[in-house]
Structures are given as structure tokens and as C-alpha cells.
Structure 1
């Protein structure tokens, strides 16, 4: 009899699920989208910048690039504070309003489209791309020969903010047909 009672109790308890979580008062769940023609001719990619957190001051922000079929091509994540001021917020950091978050997300989703031929030249004999450029600091995952070949191909390039003072530029890799960072730059 005890086995039956314990069995029924176990079944009853297993039927109890967690209640669906309702958004907390003050929660920061916001989005902004922007369409760009980048990865495929004649098809619009969609960039979604989104925030999620118990407050906008504490929000995690994500930047997602999806192709016309809805497949995620690239994702970048950080915190609102790190993306706007750098680092972790101090204890006395001011609150972030929904309007401030909306402005940030709309600006982050609105990317720059250019061509790889517009990137700076990596001069022969220079040890790095940064050594070839005055002013900004540039870095690339490619060696000089590959970088210059990608520049010469004049590929569509999409640049987005990756930190408070840094940007990443993506190209569609001609071999793998997937996005890759061609250059990162900042002061």
C-alpha cells in the first residue's frame, strides 16, 4: 500500500511544473531590427539588436545577423554598460531608461556596408596591418597575402560596433561561404 501511495505522490509531484515566468516590473526586454542586403544578392538579411535583463542598466545585449531564410550567420553579445562606457558598471552607475536602450539598440542595428577594397593597405615589409596604418589600430586574423587578396576582391563588407571603441568588419568568405571577420579596428 505504501508503494502505491508513494507512487501516486511521485506522479502528482512530477505533474507540478514551474509556473511560466512573467516579465518582472522594470525588466528590460527590447529589440531593434534593420534589414541589409549583404550575404546574398537580392535577399535581405536581418540584424536584430536585443536586450534582456532585470533592468536596462543590467541588460545583456546581443547583436544577431540572420540571412533571408532566418539562419543565424553571426552573433555578438555583451553588456549595455560595456558597449556604451566600457567595463563593468560601478555601483553608483545611473539607471538606463527604456528610451536610452531603444536608442542604443537602433544605432547598433544600423550597420555600415562598404567594400573590402576600402580597407587600408597592408604595406609590404610591415610586420602587421596596424604598422601600415596611421591613426587607428587595425588587426586581422589573416596573413598579409590573404588580407590583400580579400581587399582586391572588393567583397561586400559589413561593419558593426563590437565594443565601446572597437568595430569588427565581416565578409562572406569566398571559400566557405560563411561570414568571417576580415578586420577589427579602434583607437
Structure 2
């Protein structure tokens, strides 16, 4: 019986050692966090950006918005290289330092609230929102009437980088009470 107990203790000890070794393995596990009042006045939501990969140049990056209770509201995933240069890294791409990744993650997490009333008007008689906009190309999943109703309600909204030159803006849909993308825009 003692031999069986000793074998079990040794096996558990070996498991703990391999888990500890895995957590100390080289790689790019970094994160940044930013609080923002978006979904509920007086109860800050949290934006967390993370990287994970064998190196920072090969890192997958995530953007997660959580409510004040810690429930996930929205997630977005991409790659560090696609978010900073577009596409996949070319052969021989330079290494990305921890400091470069930390700067990227902190900037990505640092969203601020705006209001849907600040979005461009989708003029009546125009086929698409982009044809109404003057600076950027805008896209929305909504029909004109729904988009204009959401814009007129002047709802709190956050916008975050979704690619090198692309942004997505989220608001909480008054009907479903769930975050939804109202527009995506870029050059």
C-alpha cells in the first residue's frame, strides 16, 4: 500500500513539475487592461488585450470586453503582424520585443466611449452608408432605418482597431441588450 501511495505522490509531483516548466517556457504571453464606463453607468467594464505565441512576432492577439461582473461581452482575435503591418510576417521579419508588444497591447486596450450620434448620417435615397460618408468607407450590418434609429438614440459606443487600417464600433443593442457592431470603417 505504501508503494502505491508513494507512486501516486511521485506521479503528482511529476505532473506539477511539467506544468511549472510549461509556464516558464519562452514565448510571448503579455496583457494590458483598461477600465471604461460603457454598458452600465457607474460600473466600469474592462477591456483586456492579450498576446500569446512562441515569439511576439508570431503572437495571436485578442481583445476582450467584459462587464463589471466579469462576463464576456465581446471578443476579437487576430495576429500581431496582421494588426500592425497587414498579412503574415515575411521571411526574415525582425523580432518583436516584449516592450513593443506591451506598447501595442496598451494602445489597443485604451479605447474610449463615444456616442452613436457621432457616426455619419446615412442620407435618404443613398444606397449605402459609404456613399453618405466623406472621410472613410463605412459598412454596417443594418438597414438604413435601423442604423439611423440607433444613431439618433445617441447610445454609448466603443471603437477598436480590427486591422492595420480598419476600425469596428460596438454598442449595446437596445432590443437584445447584447453588444453588436454598428459600423466598421477604414480608408
The TM-score, its normalising length taken from structure 2, stands at 0.89
In the aligned structure 2, how far is the partner of 1:22 from the partner of 1:47?
24
In the aligned structure 1, how far is the partner of 2:151 from the partner of 2:135?
20
Give yes or no for the alignment of 1:37 onto 2:37.
yes
2:46 is matched with: 46
CA contact (8 A) 2:35 2:47 kept: yes
2:23 is matched with: 22
2:86 is matched with: 86
1:69 is matched with: 69
Spell out, residue by residue over 1:19-46, the C-alpha distance to the aligned partner (whole angstroms, 9 max, x if none): 3123322x11101000000011210000
1:155 is matched with: 155
CA contact (8 A) 2:167 2:186 kept: yes
Give yes or no for the alignment of 1:169 onto 2:169.
yes
CA contact (8 A) 2:36 2:112 kept: no
In the aligned structure 1, how far is the partner of 2:107 from the partner of 2:82?
15
- Give the deviation of 1:134 after TM superposition: 1.7
1:109 is matched with: 109
The count of residues paired between Structure 1 and Structure 2 equals 175
In the aligned structure 2, how far is the partner of 1:23 from the partner of 1:118?
46
RMSD: 1.6
In the aligned structure 1, how far is the partner of 2:52 from the partner of 2:180?
26
| Secondary structure of the corresponding residue to residue 123 of structure 2 | coil
| Secondary structure of the corresponding residue to residue 183 of structure 1 | strand
- Give the deviation of 1:92 after TM superposition: 1.2
- Give the deviation of 1:112 after TM superposition: 2.9
1:121 is matched with: 121
1:5 is matched with: none
Which consecutive residues of structure 2, in runs of 5 or more, have no partner in the other structure? none
Which consecutive residues of structure 1, in runs of 5 or more, have no partner in the other structure? 1-7
| Secondary structure of the corresponding residue to residue 44 of structure 2 | strand
2:96 is matched with: 96
| Secondary structure of the corresponding residue to residue 43 of structure 1 | coil
